[in-house]
Amino acid sequence: MVDEELKNALLRRLGDEAVRFDVPMAQLTTFRVGGPVDCLVEPRDEESLVFALQACRNAGIEARIVGLGSDLLVSDEGLRCVVVRIADNLSDVSVSGSTVRACAGASNAKVARAACEAGLAGYEFASGIPGTVGGAAIMNAGAYGGEFRDVARSLRCLTPDGRIVEVSAEEADWSYRHSMMDHEGYVVLSAVLELAFDDPAAIAERMEDLERRRAEKQPLELPSAGSTFKRPEGYFAGKLVQDAGLRGYRVGGAQVSTKHCGFVVNVDGASAADVRRVIADVQDRVQESAGVRLQPEVRMWGFREERR
């Protein structure tokens, strides 16, 4: 529970536009589910972000970082902590030569558009990933044969003890849906990407093609957190779910997508408990049918067994 002293300290320094209380996480996640968080902080700049996290550390109150909430499931009971949202206000993107510097709150779509306008190729794969650069760096986001580590040169990060450090691509230790920053609890502040010059029209055409392919194959018309399960080595998660007979499997308002079995979607006012039940049932059924235990790609907060 966030105490009054911390609330007042945040309000004094950041103002009531940047600090709110009892905010439904359903408003901040693409699943459109989740109970209230005690305190939501939306820093206007990097200095405010550093202050907020330091204030939480000094008060002994947990602070969790969220971007656009595109890979997150929050329990119906909500969160008894501070959530710091890095998006919108911390989203500047600049281009110099073949280099793109993006603040952590910039959406992948925004970065891809800026790169395209500058005639820089390499970030097209991320143009439809519904998250931020900070999130992409943390989880080594990837799609259609591309990954964040393919184009990232370095990161600027805040360490758990409050130091701002530069992290090289080698130090980031990226692998499939993993990074050193995630493991060590670093907060990504910005990223430097090294891209390649190309014809803007050709880049735009590739982005449009990827957008069409996503729209054809993925249930983009329904709230979800994107691909629900990690890809097991040697398998495709969606096919395992389909082969287990779970296409359209439903609990309450949550359902395995009938369009792509790798997605769990909110079809009709789902609760977080509905979504969690579908995920757990899919894991059990796939293990029974194929002997493979699917691991969620979605982060789960506020449940007895969390995936951070």
Catalytically active residues are 177, 227, 297
**Residues ≥6 apart with Cβ < 8 Å to 109:** 127, 128, 130
Using CA atoms, how far apart are residues 290 and 5, in angstroms rounded to an integer? Answer: 53
With b for 16 or more beta-carbon neighbours within 10 A and e for fewer, the 189-220 pattern comes to bbbbbbbeebeeeebbebbeebeeebeeebbb
The CA distance from 173 to 228, in Å, is: 23
Q: Which residues contact 68 (CB under 8 A, 6 or more apart)?
A: 30, 87, 107, 130, 131, 132, 135
User: Distance between CA atoms of 24 and 185, rounded to whole angstroms?
Assistant: 25
Structure tokens at 209: 């093609």
Can you tell me whether residue 37 is helix, strand or coil? strand
* Alpha carbons within 13 A on the beta-carbon side of 96: 4
Beta bridge partners of 70: none
Q: Is residue 177 classed as helix, strand or coil in its secondary structure?
A: coil
